[in-house]
Structure 1
């Protein structure tokens, strides 16, 4: 990140270098959240098969939950005195979750891929947790627990929905 524009400076008692580390971790998690949101919506729009209605509704609920967290992540970056994502290009440079542009993906493959992607997001949130604890940023450390729990729950639901039998 570059030095912050004085017009965007936010008061914080946290050390600037520490907050940059936390902001970098938050911005990476935010980029993955947007990538996961769009992939979840893509699969919601294109799911097909005998469990169409159940999967369609599940993916829509999960996408809404993911999108709901994005504003909180970005605002936490700003509260630490840093800047957050600005564009699709910025997201693509930071995301670790891979896009899926295939013309057709089976429902089973959709659920498996989203399960793995949610677990990747959990890893990102754990990085945020560690960076925030190292920085003494107890507010970020506390709030990231809920985001982690939500991603773990989504992965669990996707796992259970994909089981045979």
Structure 2
């Protein structure tokens, strides 16, 4: 995980072994963000039913928010002196959020699956928080709180949108 090319060395006062653990947790979160982003866009593209417009727009907004944190996560990995994801294969090896390749998923099932996936992402962010606190990486510890809040909000919106009247 640490940069092996001197051109990628990043100055940091954090202990190298500790930053490896933080970087591993961040990279796992980043892989999950990409998996969740693509699944959210997939469901956005394949939404159907009477609430099409509302769900279509909700998922588009959520996908944009998820994609928005990916750069911050990757840059945080680099700031700790480590390297980040390099490919779709790298993402697939690290992701814990499963893909959904089904030809058809109903709207209610889409919302429920995305809700659970966002809650899995919250769990992953808590692992990042614990690793950052252990490493005394205050910057990562602070910023992951916002990412956690966003994922919790997405899960809440998906829950409320899928409630029966």
Tell me the TM-score range normalised by the shorter chain: over 0.9
- Displacement after TM superposition at 1:147 (Å): 0.1
Deviation at 1:135, TM superposition (A): 0.1
What's the CA shift for 1:4? 2.6
Give the conservation status (yes or no) of the 8 Å contact 2:2–2:83.
Answer: no
Q: 1:86 maps to what in 2?
A: 86
The aligned counterpart of 1:107 is: 107
Q: With structure 2 as the length reference, what TM-score do the two structures score?
A: 0.99
**How far off is 1:40 after superposition?**
0.1
- TM-score under structure 1 normalisation? 0.99
CA RMSD of aligned residues (A): 0.7
Alpha-carbon distance between aligned partners in 2 of 1:120 and 1:6, rounded to the nearest angstrom? 35
Q: Is the 8 A contact 1:78 1:84 kept in 2?
A: yes
Q: Which runs of no fewer than 5 residues in structure 1 stay unpaired?
A: none
Matched residues, number: 165
Instruction: List aligned pairs for 1:64-75, cutoff 5 A.
Output: 64-75=64-75
The 8 Å contact of residues 32 and 95 in structure 2, kept in 1 or not, is answered as yes
Q: SS of 2:17's equivalent?
A: helix
**In 2, are the aligned partners of 1:34 and 1:70 still within 8 Å (CA)?**
yes
Which residue of 2 is the match for residue 36 of structure 1? 36
* 2:7 matches 1:7: yes
Change (3 A) 1:46 1:40: same
Deviations 1:53-77 (A, max 9, x none): 0000000000000000000000000
The gaps in structure 2 that reach 5 residues or longer are none
Please tell me whether the aligned partners of residues 26 and 73 of structure 1 are also in contact (alpha carbons under 8 angstroms): yes
Structure 2 equivalent of residue 54 of structure 1: 54
Q: How far is the alpha carbon of 1:5 from its aligned partner?
A: 1.5
CA shift digits 1:20-46 (9 cap, x unpaired): 000000000000000000000000000
